[in-house]
Amino acid sequence: MSNPVYLALDLPRLDAAKELASKVKAHIGGVKLGLEFFCAHGHHGVHEIAHLGLPVFLDLKLHDIPNTVAGAMQAIHMLEPAIVTVHASGGRAMMEDAKAAAGEHTKVVGVTMLTSLDERDLERTGVAGTAHDQVMRLAELSELAGLDGIVCSGKEVGTVHAQWKDGFFVVPGLRPAGGGVGDQKRVVTPREARDNGASVLVIGRPISRAENPVQAARDIEATL
């Protein structure tokens, strides 16, 4: 992948999302469409963005019983997404069925631990150990289930990459050096994540909310 940056197009208006993606498309490698976008615009919205000619990452974080997740995967076949997410905490059987139901050219990756969470949040949900421990447990389970890779923060990607040499690693929650972290708790710079083995760098607000999104995207690209 010549440019690993996927722009998070989590915007409520389809025309605004298309306009932003069109402006920065020369400086990104793909677009990430999350739950907010998909609920607002559905298949039609995905098709509209796909017409720009960039790979589409559907960040739907599917999490349900295996049969339901498999059915959801089959329902998005026609969209031909490059990447789709499922929650690794859904268990091995769910992940196996998700991968089996996915399109031939779609990478299925397991979300390990949201970058908005930390150890205190884990403890409150009854999970013992550190964020690192949780990510490593779910990374191992994802590999056993036959997924292509995982989603994790830049804090863990280096260790996971050392354990899973041929894995595909999506890293969100990235902030350029000197940028604000917002609601994220475990952040690194795009360059650090890439150096530690990230395959895809998901970047949203540092580009989408910049005064000059094109310059912001160009500046991030230059660091890689």
* Residues annotated catalytic, as ranges: 61
The CA angle 143-144-145, to the nearest 5 degrees, is 90
- Do residues 131 and 117 touch, judged by C-beta distance below 8 A? yes
Closest of 149, 24, 26, 165 to residue 86, by C-alpha = 149
What pairs with residue 201 in β-bridges? 5, 171
Closest of 110, 38, 96, 106 to residue 67, by C-alpha = 96
Q: Where are the beta strands (DSSP E) in the chain?
A: 5-8, 30-34, 56-62, 83-87, 107-111, 149-151, 168-171, 200-203
Residue 93 and residue 98: Cα distance in Å, rounded? 9
At 199, phi and psi to the nearest 5?
-90, -40
Residue 193 and residue 175: Cα distance in Å, rounded? 10
